[in-house]
């Protein structure tokens, strides 16, 4: 759950039609190829990576997890190439360590070893949060988009609220947990709500108000440090970015690039709305929370809460309206065709949870599902 983009991201060009830089963080599980259980070999795998790629990997709370991080990109072709290189290299090294690298949102079979890596911060987290810090591993996808003005970035987070449940549904990829179907498309989303810092982003008027709230939460003891602010969209503590961290890690690179394109376009659209004086709606927090629960439960296979109207609608209607809203930004960056093709593919295949369930229905074997997921993870 760390945030580790390697250098600052910036906005360039006309602020009314920005060309935004972007970086992507993906978390993966290392699974036993026979049983599907988590195996604690992350440091062994990281150490064996080529130096350049090792510098783009990060330690995580579970020794069965790896985080892989792109550099700063402006072109989605570059994003894709980096994601492929990172996934394939880590997958090859994982195999030599007797594990499989798998893009899946929650621990599918079990995690016998829940010890934390060495280091005072990890022990502080366990001391502060107790058994919550020792839950089985979960894996997300975090997208950083460059917005260097912090007051503007706060306003962007306000504007993103309406669409974050839609993005959450699109990335749903964790229906199985500890050997059973949870009935949820994203069990990761449910599991993470046990952490006190994980929540929908509050509505703020200024960066000063944002910072004062973070300070109050630190002084209350609910947060260990600023890095444990796990709001679904947040201002990076280290870089001039808006970080969207609502999604499960995607099954394959094509989905990851699609979601990255849509998030960047959503941020660009928000910036344009702010420049033009269009305010973000002020939403009831309980309804926002309910919308995220519904997205975690149903993914793209059912209905989602339309936060503009306050009632449920078919998920794909909201996806289509999200696309329509951000399409001018996609056109401006040359990403429109990529997203049109990606959404057609997603509509045909279903979200990651639907794909996993389809595989399981066909085989009756969760390890067989994970074998296919490992293949999808490393596919270029």
pLDDT averaged over consecutive 10-residue blocks of the chain (380 residues)?
A: 36 51 98 97 95 92 96 96 97 97 98 90 93 95 97 98 98 97 98 95 97 96 93 91 98 98 98 96 95 98 96 98 98 97 98 98 95 94
Tell me the residue range of the domain where 264 lies. Answer: 11-378
Tokens of 170: 């699109």
pTM of the model as a whole = 0.94
What distance in Å separates the CA atoms of residue 56 and residue 233, rounded to the nearest whole number? 22
Structural domains of the chain, count: 1
CATH code where residue 314 lies: 3.30.590.20
Pairing state of beta strands 140-146 and 22-31? antiparallel
Gyration radius from the chain CA atoms: 19
135 secondary structure, DSSP code: S
Residue 4 forms part of a structural domain = no
Residue 40 forms part of a structural domain = yes
Residue 277 forms part of a structural domain = yes
pLDDT attached to residue 239: 85
Residue 3 forms part of a structural domain = no
Q: Smallest Cα–Cα separation from 322: which of 265, 245, 257, 238?
A: 265
Residue 297 forms part of a structural domain = yes
Residue 352 forms part of a structural domain = yes
Tokens of 106: 């929650």
List all residues 6 or more positions away from 111 whose beta carbon is below 8 Å from its beta carbon: 37, 38, 62, 64, 136, 137
The greatest distance separating any two alpha carbons of the chain, rounded to the nearest whole angstrom, comes to 56
Q: Give the phi and the psi of residue 13 in degrees, each rounded to 5.
A: 90, -165
Three-state DSSP class for residue 311: strand
Residue 135 forms part of a structural domain = yes
Q: Smallest Cα–Cα separation from 122: which of 198, 58, 42, 61?
A: 61
Residue 227 forms part of a structural domain = yes
């Amino acid at each position: 759950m760390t945030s580790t983009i390697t250098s600052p991201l910036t906005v360039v060009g006309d602020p009314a039609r920005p060309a935004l830089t972007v970086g992507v963080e993906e978390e993966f599980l290392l699974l036993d190829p026979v049983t599907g259980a988590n195996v604690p070999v992350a440091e062994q795998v990281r150490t064996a990576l080529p130096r350049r790629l090792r510098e783009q990997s990060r330690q995580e709370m579970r020794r069965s997890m790896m985080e892989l991080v792109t550099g700063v990109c402006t072109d989605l072709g570059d994003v894709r190439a980096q994601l492929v290189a990172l996934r394939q290299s880590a997958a090859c090294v994982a195999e030599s360590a007797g594990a499989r690298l798998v893009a899946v949102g929650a621990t599918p079979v079990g995690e016998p070893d829940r010890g934390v890596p060495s280091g005072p911060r990890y022990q502080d987290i366990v001391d502060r949060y107790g058994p919550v810090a020792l839950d089985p591993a979960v894996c997300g996808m975090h997208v950083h988009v460059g917005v260097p003005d912090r007051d503007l970035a706060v306003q962007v987070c306000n504007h993103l609220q309406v669409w974050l449940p839609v993005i959450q549904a699109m990335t749903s990829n964790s229906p199985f947990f500890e050997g059973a179907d949870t009935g949820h498309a994203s069990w990761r989303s449910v599991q993470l709500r046990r952490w006190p810092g994980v929540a929908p982003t509050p509505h703020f008027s200024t960066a000063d108000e944002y910072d004062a709230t973070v300070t109050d939460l630190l002084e209350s003891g609910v947060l260990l440090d600023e890095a444990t602010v796990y709001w679904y969209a947040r201002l990076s503590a280290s870089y001039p970015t808006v970080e969207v961290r609502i999604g499960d890690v995607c099954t394959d690179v094509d989905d990851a690039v699609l979601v990255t394109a849509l998030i960047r376009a959503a941020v660009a659209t928000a910036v344009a709305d702010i420049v033009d004086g269009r305010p973000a709606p002020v939403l009831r927090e309980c309804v926002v929370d309910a919308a995220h629960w519904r997205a975690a439960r149903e993914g793209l296979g059912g209905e989602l809460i339309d936060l503009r109207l306050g009632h449920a609608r078919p998920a794909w209607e909201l996806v289509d309206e999200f696309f329509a809203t951000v399409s001018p930004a996609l056109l401006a960056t040359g990403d429109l065709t990529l997203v049109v093709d990606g959404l057609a593919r997603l509509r045909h295949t279903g979200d990651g949870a639907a794909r996993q369930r389809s595989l399981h229905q066909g085989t009756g074997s969760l390890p067989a599902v994970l074998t296919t997921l490992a293949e999808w993870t490393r596919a270029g």
